[in-house]
Amino acid sequence: MERAELEAQARQILLTNLRRGVADWNGKEFSFVVPSLTGYPFQWFWDSCFHAIALTHLDLEQAKSELTTLLSGAQPDGFIPHIIFWEMEKQPDFLSRNIVGMTSPYFSATIQPPIVAYAVERVYRATGDEEFLNSALPVLTAYYRWLRYHRDPDEDGLIAVIQPEEAGTDCSPKYDEALGLEDLSNQGFIAALRKVYAAYEPMRGDDRRILAADIFHFEDVLVNSIYAFGLQSLARMLGDAPEAEEFRREADKTRDALVEKCWNEKAGAFFDLCGVAEKQVEVVTISSLMPLVLADLPRNIVERLVNDWVSNPEHFWLPYPLPSVPASNPKFMPGNPRGFIWRGPTWVNTNWFLSHSLRGHGYPELADTIVAKTHEAIELSGFREYYNPYTAEGLGARNFGWTTLALDL
Ligand code: GLC
């Protein structure tokens, strides 16, 4: 597809999914893109960051509004929710099909992968708007400090998620054992999640207590790779400010902890740590590759990940790479998952992260192929939520917001 055509189609989706107004419940103005008008009609944290990055290619004002709206959802203690229900009238229908951890009716009490500092950095670099940067920085510093205080109680540099949706890779098979999942379907997943939610009921909102209860406690590799990546951005944006050093140190600490605790030399992959006891969950998924986003990952590790996993046709190197689960996993499901997501199909956001990472680590051919195949999938099937990694058949939501990241590959 020609660049102009790709841009025209992406613009169409972002405009159609754009929601503007004033929220009844807090009187604040909102202006942001929903992931999908039908399936996901609210503001999602990491989706919004991806939308803003795509918008830097199309509409700089809207890129700023997307993030300003997200950051306006920050709470006094620094927390920024995973979902903000700006238009409450759409909520009952959504909650009849989904479960969300909440202490307020207006937003979730959960997090998503903390990419926001990088998104702000991209929008700032594209616009040069100092006012935008200066209003974002205090919110970002409070947010990353909130994560450290509330989500890293053992102070090892790795933050923990309390339920799978917080990692953005909801039904990934790496969580099956911890959830006690036997019915391998979306219904089975929701039923397992309901048990976790029920156990959290008396503690919801007190994340340190929830983590100490050790019900679902994952020091997740994808989340921590993005955490370190975000901290690096924040430190760069802070420049000479005294706080810059704090976040640079924290980024290094997280990278070192990923290598020391999550790297498995035998498997040649990174694994999440489950529970307070930090047991490695030996299931390779797209998350196992995510530390590649760190430019300063040790070279021997980069080579193992690329040679053993990424470029291996038995694992991730399928006709439309990179699948969310390698083909060698017995639970790999390349086709229509009926809502049981992140178990095989290829997603554009992880391709965006990993194609840039591979290029940065000196693998331009692999990066070029991922980019070309992603564009081909979009040309064949439209801007879908995810794609069959063998056929590029489009799956999940249509006109899906973050698939416009194809503009930034
Ligand atoms: C699904 C995805 C999650 C995304 C959300 C909205 O729940 O797993 O990563 O943020 O949809 O698109």
pLDDT digits (tens, 9 = 90+) for 190-242: 999 999 999 999 999 999 999 999 999 999 999 999 999 999 999 999 999 99
- For the Cβ of 46 lying below 6 angstroms from any atom of ligand 1, the answer is yes
Task: Choose one of 33, 37, 47 to mutate for the ligand 1 pocket test, by most ligand atoms within 8 angstroms of C-beta.
Answer: 47
Atom from ligand 1 closest to the CA of residue 168: 9
CA–CA dist 243, 236 (Å, integer) = 11
Per-residue pLDDT tens digits for 31-76: 999 999 999 999 999 999 999 999 999 999 999 999 999 999 999 9
Atom from ligand 1 closest to the CA of residue 385: 12
Contact of 380 with 309, CB cutoff 8 Å? no
Whether 300 has a pLDDT exceeding 90, the answer reads: yes
CA–CA dist 236, 230 (Å, integer) = 10
How far apart are the CA of 168 and the centre of ligand 1, in A?
6
pLDDT band of residue 110 (cuts 50, 70, 90) is very high
Tell me how far CA of residue 185 lies from CA of 82, 176, 338, 343, 372, in angstroms. Answer: 24, 11, 8, 11, 32
In three-state secondary structure terms, 44 is: strand
Average pLDDT value over all residues in the chain: 98
Contact of 253 with 268, CB cutoff 8 Å? no
How far apart are the CA of 404 and the centre of ligand 1, in A?
15
pLDDT band of residue 404 (cuts 50, 70, 90) is very high
Per-residue pLDDT tens digits for 147-181: 999 999 999 999 999 999 999 999 999 999 999 99
Atom from ligand 1 closest to the CA of residue 401: 12
How far apart are the CA of 292 and the centre of ligand 1, in A?
22
Best CA proximity match to 193, nearest among 215, 210, 208, 223: 215
* Amino acid of residue 337: P
How far apart are the CA of 249 and the centre of ligand 1, in A?
30
pLDDT band of residue 336 (cuts 50, 70, 90) is confident
pTM attached to this predicted model: 0.98
In three-state secondary structure terms, 71 is: helix
CA–CA dist 380, 374 (Å, integer) = 10
- For the Cβ of 341 lying below 6 angstroms from any atom of ligand 1, the answer is yes
In three-state secondary structure terms, 387 is: strand
pLDDT band of residue 102 (cuts 50, 70, 90) is very high
Whether 1 has a pLDDT exceeding 90, the answer reads: no
